[in-house]
């Protein structure tokens, strides 16, 4: 479409995310085989106002974050069977890539562009002033795009995690946050 903006133009790719069948084995693989870490674990996350395909959901999940250079690696562990992208059709990626993430300054612009491109919003919600949507641009499992607008006044959590990985010596590979 001439003159229209694609989803990739909303922001730079900053994350590769996985929903492994065995979360602990995935942490071990990433830290010991790949040398990525340390991972920072956030447990029992539920997004405020979380909706799955427009309907409220009480889905809860854990996530662990680390950096491989400038790319964030996210490992997700669903905690329940409530409707979400971490169970069912979107989780059926055989341990492969589940979604990518881009950061944006304007989530409303992201909604607009995704709508223009026919990308379905499958998850939306917030953590405080941080807002997030996950969109399916039409190719099914493994092709989801997370679009995140961070709280501009919040702590630089991603910067702290990235700094911890610089020169990491392999000790304490999974660290709890909060």
What is the domain range of residue 57?
17-166
CATH number at residue 95: 3.10.180.10
In a domain, residue 172? The reply is: no
Please state, as a whole number, how many other Cβ atoms lie within 10 Å of the Cβ of residue 90.
22
In the predicted structure, residue 170 carries a pLDDT above the cut 60: yes
In a domain, residue 1? The reply is: no
Strand 39-45 with 97-103, pairing:
unpaired
Q: How many distinct structural domains can be found in the chain?
A: 1
- Tell me how far CA of residue 30 lies from CA of 48, 73, 93, 145, in angstroms: 30, 9, 18, 22
Residue 30 phi/psi, 5-degree rounding, is -65, -40
The predicted-structure confidence for 46-67, as pLDDT tens digits, reads as follows 999 999 999 999 999 999 999 9
Which tokens in the block code for residue 147? Answer: 């679009």
The predicted-structure confidence for 14-47, as pLDDT tens digits, reads as follows 999 999 999 999 999 999 999 999 999 999 999 9
In a domain, residue 2? The reply is: no
Residue 145's DSSP bridge partners are 100, 135
In a domain, residue 6? The reply is: no
Q: What is the mean pLDDT of residues 100-116?
A: 96
C-alpha dihedral, 21 to 23 to 25 to 29, nearest 10°: 110
Residues 157, 148 contacting (CB under 8 angstroms): no
In a domain, residue 44? The reply is: yes
The predicted-structure confidence for 120-132, as pLDDT tens digits, reads as follows 999 999 998 999 9
Global pTM reads 0.94
Average pLDDT value for the chain: 93
Percentage of the chain beyond pLDDT 70 is 96
Q: Which residue has the higher pLDDT, 175 or 3?
A: 175
């Amino acid at each position: 479409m001439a003159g229209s903006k694609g989803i990739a133009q909303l922001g730079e790719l900053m994350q590769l995310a996985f929903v492994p069948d065995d979360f602990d084995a995935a942490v071990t693989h990433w830290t010991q085989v790949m040398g990525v870490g340390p991972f920072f674990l956030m447990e029992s996350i539920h997004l405020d106002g979380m909706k799955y395909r427009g309907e409220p959901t009480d889905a809860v999940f854990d996530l662990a974050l680390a950096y491989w250079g400038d790319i964030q690696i996210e490992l997700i562990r669903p905690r329940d069977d409530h409707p979400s992208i971490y169970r069912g059709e979107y989780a059926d990626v055989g341990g492969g890539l589940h979604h990518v993430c881009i950061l944006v300054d304007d989530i409303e612009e992201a909604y607009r562009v995704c709508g223009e491109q026919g990308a379905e919003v499958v998850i939306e919600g917030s953590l405080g002033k941080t807002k997030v949507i996950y969109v399916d641009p039409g190719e099914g499992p493994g092709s989801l795009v997370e679009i995140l607008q961070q709280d501009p006044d919040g702590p630089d959590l991603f910067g702290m995690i990235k700094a911890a990985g610089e020169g990491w010596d392999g000790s304490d590979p999974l660290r709890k946050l909060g």
